[in-house]
């Protein structure tokens, strides 16, 4: 997971600098400020936020030294030195909206790259569009960013989770696995809720007779899932061995 997040944030910074290079010139300013938002604290920091920020630092340093892979191996870009400003994503969507406004208004950043949490992405995207400021989302598993909205200043560099959940249902069908019912465990926030919806809709198309069973939504970052596992085990023990069932965790 950290390697994947590293690749995503590197790709995002490249996208931000490439996009910005067409819009700013060295004669207008000496530095290009980039707000970089990711989890620096909290439960998502170790596996998501810190690797992403470390990746951003590596790439920013390489850009400023002219040591990034070609064709980005000129010092800075457009003659501008990249000036990163790092912001902690921890704290919830309301806090992130204010932090985003601060980056644009107070810190005068030229673009913002960041966000892991789907709820945060859904909250900040319309704000950046309203302010007509560039925002590059490097993660955000929810499919509802561009599917529910239309943006000119907001971009994303990673795929969303719909294909994962559709692919799971299609895999079962491709392998001719009979499914009479299925259980679900998804985290109780935007990403988990959207993943559940996508999987249920896919199953309804491919397995119209299959019935949803347990629908468990532990809180994000709960860490321990003993209650949910016990509920699933109790459900499984209650079914007859002649039935075919599927337990799903997305």
Could you tell me if 41 and 90 are in contact, meaning their C-beta atoms sit under 8 angstroms apart? Answer: yes
Residue 38 sits in the same domain as residue 139: yes
- Which stretch of DSSP H or E encloses residue 135? strand 134-137
3-state SS, 149-193, equals CCCCCEEECCCCCHHHHHHHHHHHHHCCCCCCEEEEECCCCHHHH
The whole model's pTM is what?
A: 0.74
CA dihedral 157, 161, 162, 165 (to 10 degrees): 150
* Helix, strand or coil, per DSSP, at residue 132: coil
73: tokens are: 């191996």
Residue 7 sits in the same domain as residue 111: yes
Q: Write down the mean pLDDT value for the chain.
A: 85
Residue 112 sits in the same domain as residue 199: no
Residue 11 sits in the same domain as residue 74: yes
Could you tell me if 36 and 81 are in contact, meaning their C-beta atoms sit under 8 angstroms apart? Answer: no
Residue 85 sits in the same domain as residue 178: no
pLDDT score recorded for residue 242:
36
CATH of the domain at 36: 3.40.50.2300
44 pLDDT exceeds 90? no
| Mean pLDDT to the nearest integer, 160-170 | 93
Residue 27 sits in the same domain as residue 111: yes
Residue 150 sits in the same domain as residue 180: no
Residue 84 sits in the same domain as residue 196: no
29 pLDDT exceeds 80? no
User: Which residue range is the domain that position 184 belongs to?
Assistant: 162-249
Residue 148 sits in the same domain as residue 184: no
Final residue before a domain boundary, out of 96, 121, 156: 156
Residue 9 sits in the same domain as residue 49: yes
pLDDT score recorded for residue 27:
47
For helices 93-105 and 118-131, the axis angle rounded to 10 degrees is: 30
Examine residue 200 and say whether the peptide bond preceding it is cis (omega within 30 degrees of 0): no
Phi-psi region of 80 (alpha: psi -120 to 50; beta: other; left: phi over 0): beta
Residue 37 sits in the same domain as residue 125: yes
pLDDT score recorded for residue 10:
52
pLDDT score recorded for residue 219:
81
> Which strands sit side by side in the sheet containing 211-216, from one edge to the other?
211-216, 181-185, 245-249
Final residue before a domain boundary, out of 116, 137, 156: 156
Residue 152 sits in the same domain as residue 169: no
| Mean pLDDT to the nearest integer, 136-157 | 92
Final residue before a domain boundary, out of 138, 156, 174: 156
Number of domains the chain is built from: 2
């Amino acid at each position: 997971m950290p390697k994947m997040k590293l690749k995503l944030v590197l790709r995002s910074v490249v996208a931000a600098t490439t996009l910005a290079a067409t819009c700013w010139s060295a004669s207008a300013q000496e530095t290009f400020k980039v707000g970089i938002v990711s989890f620096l604290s909290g439960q998502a920091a170790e596996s998501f936020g810190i690797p992403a920020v470390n990746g951003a630092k590596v790439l920013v340093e390489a850009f400023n030294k002219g040591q990034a892979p070609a064709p980005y191996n000129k010092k800075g870009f457009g003659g501008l030195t990249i000036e990163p400003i790092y912001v902690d994503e921890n704290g919830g969507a309301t806090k992130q909206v204010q932090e985003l406004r601060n980056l644009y208004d107070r810190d005068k950043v030229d673009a913002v790259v960041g966000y892991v949490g789907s709820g945060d992405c859904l909250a900040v995207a319309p704000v950046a569009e309203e302010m007509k400021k560039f925002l590059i989302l490097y993660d955000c598993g929810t499919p509802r960013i561009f599917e529910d909205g239309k943006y000119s200043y907001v971009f994303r560099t990673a795929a969303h989770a719909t294909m994962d959940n559709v692919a799971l249902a299609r895999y079962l069908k491709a392998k001719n696995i009979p499914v009479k019912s299925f259980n679900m465990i998804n985290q109780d926030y935007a990403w988990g809720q959207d993943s559940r919806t996508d999987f249920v809709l896919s199953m309804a198309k491919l397995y119209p007779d299959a019935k949803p069973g347990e629908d468990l939504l532990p809180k994000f970052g709960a860490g321990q899932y003993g209650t949910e596992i016990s509920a699933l085990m109790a459900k499984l023990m209650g079914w007859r061995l002649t039935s075919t069932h599927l337990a799903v965790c997305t």
